[in-house]
Amino acid sequence: MSPVETDLVDRFRATMARLPGGVTAVAVRRGGLDLAMTATTVVSVSLRPPMLLFSVHSDARLREVLDEVDTWAVSILDGDGRVLAERLADPGRPAVGQLVGVRHRRGEHSGAALLEPAQAWLECRTAWIRTAGDHDVVVGEVLDAWTGATGTGGLVHHLGRLRPLT
């Protein structure tokens, strides 16, 4: 990458850091293996039918599994989810045992982990995946969605940090 391109990437990163993003965890289950990642790019796409999208780095383990498994779950983390979000964002975490010690239940439609602490959950089926630079955009049809109690507000990513929103 040229110095001009590197400078643009740095300026783009700094600019986008000013846009607060809700923090979620996306999970998928293949066989007996649970994979999960932190995502701040979950976006509502359509109401009829209900659809959403998220982006995942093209070489992420979770991305590889999406070629084999077409259902997944999103947990919208609450203000107490910072430690979990940081753990699931660590690129060096092991593939096996990612959710050891994390309270969760299985989604009825996806079999994927629905994580705590969260204030809402969705289960989805992949509609399509497209490459967008170094990430892939995954669009899914919502199979189910529900909310739980929240007393701690949400969790947002802003200026390079995870911050509780109360």
Q: Which residues form the domain of 133? A: 24-148
pLDDT of residue 151: 66
The enclosing domain of 43 has a CATH number of: 2.30.110.10
Per the domain annotation, does 4 fall within a domain?
no
pLDDT at 44 over 70: yes
pTM: 0.94
Cα distances (angstroms) measured from residue 5 to each of 9, 18, 59, 132, 154: 6, 21, 22, 17, 35
Phi then psi dihedrals of residue 107, to 5 deg: -70, 140
Alpha-carbon torsion 158, 55, 136, 56, what sign? positive
Per-residue pLDDT band at 3 (split at 50, 70, 90): confident
Total structural domains within the chain: 1
Residue 157 identity (one-letter amino acid): H
Q: Compute the distance between CA of residue 166 and CA of residue 158 in angstroms, rounded to an integer.
A: 14
